[in-house]
């Protein structure tokens, strides 16, 4: 048993020394750690600057965004003992983790629950799509109230920050979003360079190609080479090699070279071509656009994309929720997401790939008159997997009826800090927004200790 006078990192701590050895009576060591981890001024239960180190630099992230706010009751946090009118029409089912139940709408995810963590206790106070989107995509609440229909950006999104930190590797965009950018998924003051590379279209359709990353199919290979040689010989504008001259044409050349590198790299080109994936794998994810996007996301992170957002809309079930959750949309989520996790795991990629699935908020406990639930930020569920996230773990809890997060309560800031630390980015660092005002990347968030197994 480790020296109880010190914490895991081996540094002695004020609060512990004070309590003396006698203070250990009646407490398990784990409880003690948990107690200390919660102490408001325990400096760095997880040291943001040290966590992961070089390894964390190699972690990529796939974030599945369920736009509209998926119901925690009908996914990862069923409440069968809540009163009628709250518990809903669906039943809980056991999962691969003893004692843990999910909703019957996601049986495949239940069967692989031993591979991921479910966080049941993140909460906030913004019931608007506009605000909730922003909070959960950037880790920062909106500074002014925004309406439900608003698409706003006040702070850089996770993907943009990762793009800014990691940069482009061998011409591969650092941040991809498909089939569209989520409302608050933009770079804000980090600049256009860190906007997501959006891959539109339908990966499930025949002949689907990721735009712009491959030579145009219409141009034959020989001709392509020819025109490139022409371009190289004809591009006569003088460049100034001296760095002090800040010649934008020099940057242009460097970007062009990287782009060319991407276009001529066999492995990168194959990664973008989803048709190269064996049929049985494509089946496993589900032959629909959502599932195929997750598969494409896997291929992209394998090729070196640092952050991929898979956007799925239509999760705002104010009406006919139970019907919908029994239907194809949730089935596609269930199939595709479980396939992604299993696929990453068996390919040995789960350690270096962080996976999150979440929406703006949860949904109201009281079922409304249209058999739906409305917006409810006081409770929500987030799926987290990979990059050292514990397997088969449930973090936190909501109260007996699913109204409020009640145990191990965490804020969106804590979630953001966790994401960043897992990717080797210090959440406490300062960025400089337009007016040279220092802005903390994550303001007031602490990485969630339990997610760093």
Partner 1 sequence: MEKLRSFIFAVIASAAAAYVPAARGDSPPAGYHPVFATSLSPDQKRLAVARGDTVWVFDVQSAERPVSAKLSTPGEMVFSLSWSPDGKWLASGGAGKVRVWDVAGGKASIELNGLAGRVGALAFTKDSSVLLAGDEGSVRQWRVSDGTALPQWTAHGDSVLAIELIGDGAVLATAGGDKLVKLWERESGKLVATLEGHAAQVTALAVSPDGKHLASGGADREVRVWDLSTKEKGESLPPHPAGVSDLAWLNGEKVLTACEDGSVRVAVVGKERRFERTLPAASDALYALALSADGKTAYAGGHDGEVYAWSVEKSAAEKKLAFAAEPSGAPSPPGSLSFVNDVLPVLSKAGCNAGACHAKPMGQSGFRLSVFAYDPRSDHRAIVKEIRGRRVTPNAPEESLLLRKPTMAVDHGGGRRLKKASDAYATLVRWVREGMPYGPTGTPTLVGVEVSPKEQRYTKGAAQPLRVTAKYSDASTRDVTALSDFSSNEKSVATVDETGVVKVADVPGEAVIVARYMGMVDVSRVTVPADDLLPDAFYASLPANNFIDRHIHERLKVLGLSPSDGCTDAEFLRRASLDATGKLPSPEQARAFLADDSPRKREKLIDQLLSDPAWADHWAGKWADLLRPNPFRAGVKSVYLLDQWLRDSFRQNKPYDRFVRELITARGSTHRDGPVVVFRDKREPADIGAFVAQVFLGVRMECARCHHHPNEKWSQEDFYQLAAFFAPLKRKGQGISAPISGEAEFVWFAPGGGVSHPVTGETMKPKAPDGPADAIDAARDPREALASWMTRPDNPFFARAAVNRVWAELMGRGIVHPVDDFRASNPPTNGPLLDALAKDFADHGYDLKHLVRTIMRSRAYQRSSLPNERNVADSRNFSRWYRRRPAAEVLLDAVSDVTGVRERLPGGTPDGRAVQMWNYRQESDFLDAFSRPNASADPPCERDGAGSVVQALHLMNSNRLVSKIADSTGQAAALAASKKTEKEIVEELYLLAYSRPPTEEELSIAATAFSQPGATRQSATEDVMWALINSAEFVFNH
Number of residues forming the site for partner 1 (CB under 8 A):
106
Query: Smallest distance, Å, CB 151 to partner 1?
Result: 4
Q: Per rule CB under 8 A, is residue 67 in the interface with partner 1? A: no
Question: Would you say 57 or 264 has its CB closer to partner 1?
Answer: 264
Structure tokens at 421: 């630390």
Residue 47, interface with partner 1 (CB under 8 A)? Answer: no
Nearest of 189, 131, 199 to residue 160 by alpha carbon: 189
Kindly state the tokens that stand for 437.
């005002």
Assigned token pair, 342: 């299993």
Question: Is residue 50 part of the contact set for partner 1 (CB under 8 A)?
Answer: no
d(CA 109, CA 132): 25
Q: Which of residues 253-292 bind partner 1 (CB under 8 A)?
A: 253, 255-256, 258-260, 262-263
Q: Is residue 69 a contact partner of residue 313, using CB atoms and an 8 Å limit? A: no
Residue linked to tokens 């630099």: 57
Instruction: Give the nearer residue to partner 1 in terms of CB position, either 100 or 409.
Output: 409
What dihedral angle (degrees, nearest 10) is formed by the CA atoms of 85, 89, 94, 98? Answer: -10
Nearer Cβ to partner 1 (112/405): 405
C-alpha 297/C-alpha 99 separation (Å) is 32
368: its two tokens: 């409304």
- Applying CB under 8 A, which of residues 150, 342, 349, 371 lies at the interface with partner 1? 150
Nearest alpha carbon to residue 80 among 95, 64, 91: 91
Binding segment (CB under 8 A) for partner 1, from list 52-60, 187-195, 275-283, 299-307: 187-195
Site for partner 1 in 405-444 (CB under 8 A): 406-409, 428, 430, 434-438, 440, 443-444
Q: Nearer to partner 1 by C-beta: 44 or 388? A: 44
Residue closer to partner 1, measured from CB, 164 or 322: 164
How many Cβ atoms are within 10 Å of 168's Cβ, its own excluded? Answer: 19
Please give the residues from 13 up to 42 whose contact with partner 1 meets the rule CB under 8 A: 13-15, 17-27, 31-32, 35-36, 38-42
List binders of partner 1 among 217-256 (CB under 8 A): 218-220, 222-223, 226-227, 230-231, 233-240, 242, 244-249, 251-253, 255-256
Which one of 207-215, 273-281, 321-329, 343-351 is the stretch in contact with partner 1 (CB under 8 A)? 207-215
Nearer to partner 1, 53 or 222 (CB): 222
State the minimum distance, in angstroms, from the CB of residue 335 to partner 1.
Answer: 30
DSSP 3-state of 449: helix
Nearest-approach distance from CB 106 to partner 1, in angstroms: 27
Work out which of 10, 53, 98, 149 binds partner 1, going by CB under 8 A. 149
H or E stretch at 103: strand 101-103
Neighbours of 183 (CB within 10 A): 22
Q: Least CB distance from residue 113 to partner 1, whole Å?
A: 24
Structure-block tokens of residue 115: 């591979």
Does 122 interact with partner 1 (rule: CB under 8 A)?
no
* Of the candidate residues 48, 186, 203, 412, the single one contacting partner 1 (CB under 8 A): 186
Question: Which residues touch 160 (CB under 8 Å, ≥6 apart)?
Answer: 175, 185, 186, 187, 188, 190, 194, 195, 196
Q: Where are the alpha helices (DSSP H) in 264-406?
A: 266-272, 279-285, 289-303, 321-325, 328-346
Tell whether residue 6 is a contact of partner 1 (CB under 8 A): no
């Amino acid at each position: 048993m480790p020296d109880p006078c010190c914490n895991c990192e081996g540094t002695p701590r004020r609060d512990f020394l004070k309590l003396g050895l006698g203070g250990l009576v009646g407490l398990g060591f784990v409880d003690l750690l948990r107690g200390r981890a919660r102490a408001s001024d325990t400096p760095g239960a997880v040291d943001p600057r040290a966590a992961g180190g070089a390894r964390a630099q190699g972690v990529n992230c796939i974030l599945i965004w369920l736009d509209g706010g998926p119901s925690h009751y009908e996914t990862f946090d069923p409440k069968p003992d809540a009163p009628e009118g709250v518990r809903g029409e669906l039943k809980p089912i056991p999962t691969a983790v003893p004692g843990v139940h999910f909703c019957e709408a996601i049986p495949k995810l239940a069967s692989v629950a031993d591979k991921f963590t479910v966080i049941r206790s993140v909460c906030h106070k913004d019931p608007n799509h506009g605000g909730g989107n922003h909070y959960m995509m950037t880790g920062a609440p909106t500074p002014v109230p925004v309406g439900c229909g608003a698409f706003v950006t006040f702070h850089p999104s996770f993907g943009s920050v990762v793009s800014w930190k990691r940069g482009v590797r061998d011409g591969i965009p650092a941040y991809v979003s498909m089939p569209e950018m989520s409302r608050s998924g933009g770079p804000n003051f980090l600049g256009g360079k860190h906007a997501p590379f959006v891959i539109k279209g339908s990966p499930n359709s025949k002949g689907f190609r990721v735009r712009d990353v491959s030579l145009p199919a219409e141009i034959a290979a020989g001709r392509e080479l020819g025109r490139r040689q022409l371009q190289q010989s004809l591009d006569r504008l003088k460049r100034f090699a001296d760095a002090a001259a800040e010649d934008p044409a020099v940057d242009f050349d460097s970007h062009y070279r990287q782009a060319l590198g991407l276009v001529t790299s066999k492995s990168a080109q194959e990664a973008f071509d989803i048709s190269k994936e064996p049929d049985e794998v494509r089946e496993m994810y589900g032959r629909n656009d959502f599932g195929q996007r997750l598969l494409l996301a896997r291929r992209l992170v394998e090729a070196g994309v640092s952050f991929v957002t898979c956007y799925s809309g239509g999760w705002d079930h104010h009406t006919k929720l139970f019907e919908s959750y029994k239907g194809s949309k949730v089935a596609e989520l269930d199939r595709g997401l479980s396939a992604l996790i299993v696929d990453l795991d068996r390919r040995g990629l789960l350690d270096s790939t962080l996976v999150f699935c979440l929406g703006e908020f949860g949904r109201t406990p009281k079922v409304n008159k249209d058999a739906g639930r409305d917006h409810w930020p006081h409770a929500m569920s987030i799926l987290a997997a990979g990059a050292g996230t514990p397997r088969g773990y449930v973090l936190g809890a909501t109260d007996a009826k699913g109204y409020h997060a009640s145990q191990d309560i965490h804020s969106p800031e804590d979630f953001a800090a966790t994401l960043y630390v897992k990717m080797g980015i210090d959440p406490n660092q300062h960025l400089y927004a337009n007016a040279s005002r220092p802005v903390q990347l994550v303001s007031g968030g602490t990485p969630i200790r339990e997610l760093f197994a």
